[in-house]
Structure 1
Amino acid sequence: MAKIVFKELTSNQNVLFPVSLSEKIAPNHPVRIVNSVVDALDISSLLSSYKGGGSSSYHPRMMLKVLFYAYLNNIYSCRKIEKALQENIHFMWLSGNSTPDFRTINDFRGKRLKEHIKSLFSAIVLLLQESGYVSLDVQY
């Protein structure tokens, strides 16, 4: 009878160097496209809606990335987005390991984006079209 050999289980093992989440994500993964497209957006009108003072806010660009990537994955619930930020490496990478709770996500979406969502979404579609990721020849 042959000797059975298993790979070592290292789930509780400490590591000397932290693993980079970026190394775990393929270069052509959609999360990288969302990241680069949102980085190219002009969000100056959204930024001007912040008054300053009080406690610090999550950066609106990061929140946009998370929301648009969630929508791309058919995740619309703020609680599910919060859970994805804690469990999914793509969301972790996109948010820089920031973990806004569902109320913060909901407030950002419902209050901050209310006046800006249509123009930002249109800008994203145009950027995707310019980059060759989508075609505007056929409408659905």
Structure 2
Amino acid sequence: MCNPKITSSNYNTEQATFPLALEEGTGVPLHQKASPTFIPYNNQQGFAIFDIQDLVPANHVARVIDEMVELMDDELFFAHSKGGGRSSFHPKMMTKVILYAYSKKIYSSRGIEETLTEHIPSIWLAAGQQPDHRTINRFRSDHLKTMMDSLFEQMIHQLIEQKGQSSP
């Protein structure tokens, strides 16, 4: 069988017969006659990812963080936002991204910014949005610092409720 896209014109498709023994100086070894074949490869071609959520495994830590933050009351996040001015990134998204980065031992705002372009779970948590390192740092120092205690408290309450529901 021959694939014309990846093989040379002298690719032999006929059944080869091999002598049992090659005498010295006669014939050419088979590995010099055959042309190599490869699986087609082109990293310049376009491809579409229809749903990035399918690329994040079901038991991934990003899904746990997403679920926990989504269970939090919106008022917890909105109470620390001033409002007015230019539209800002959603505080739940920013919290998810920062918590995920912390779970991966990434603490610098530039490192967190990098994960938003290179790590599929981070891209999924941010829904493709890419806040820069200044925005991440500002959110972390202005908002996350003031809501951390109440955020932690609500997470503990959620875990207690989930445990109570799963226990017989």
Larger RCO, structure (CA 8 Å, separation 6 or more):
1
Identity of paired residues, percent? 37
The structure with the largest alpha-carbon Rg is 2
Letter matched to residue 5 of structure 1: T
Is the deviation greater in 44-53 or in 20-29?
44-53
Provide the rounded CA distance (Å) in 1 between the counterparts of 2:103 and 2:131.
Answer: 19
What is the match of residue 120 of structure 2? 89
**Unmatched tracts of structure 1, length 5 or more:** 133-140
Q: CA offsets per residue over residues 78-120 of structure 1, 9 Å max, x none? A: 1000000011111000100010001000110101122211221
RMSD: 1.9
- DSSP-derived class of the 2:65 partner: helix
What is the match of residue 72 of structure 2? 41
Q: 1:57 aligns with which of 88, 101, 106?
A: 88
- DSSP-derived class of the 2:37 partner: coil
- DSSP-derived class of the 1:23 partner: helix
TM-score, normalising length from structure 2? 0.70
Q: 1:102 aligns with which of 133, 140, 143?
A: 133
| Offset, 1:27 | 1.1
**Unmatched tracts of structure 2, length 5 or more:** 1-30, 164-168
Query: Structure 1's 32 and 3: CA in aligned 2 closer, same or farther, altered over 3 A?
Result: farther
Provide the rounded CA distance (Å) in 2 between the counterparts of 1:55 and 1:93.
Answer: 24
Equivalent residues in 2 for 1:108-127 (5 A)?
A: 108-127=139-158
| Offset, 1:63 | 0.4
TM-score, normalising length from structure 1? 0.82
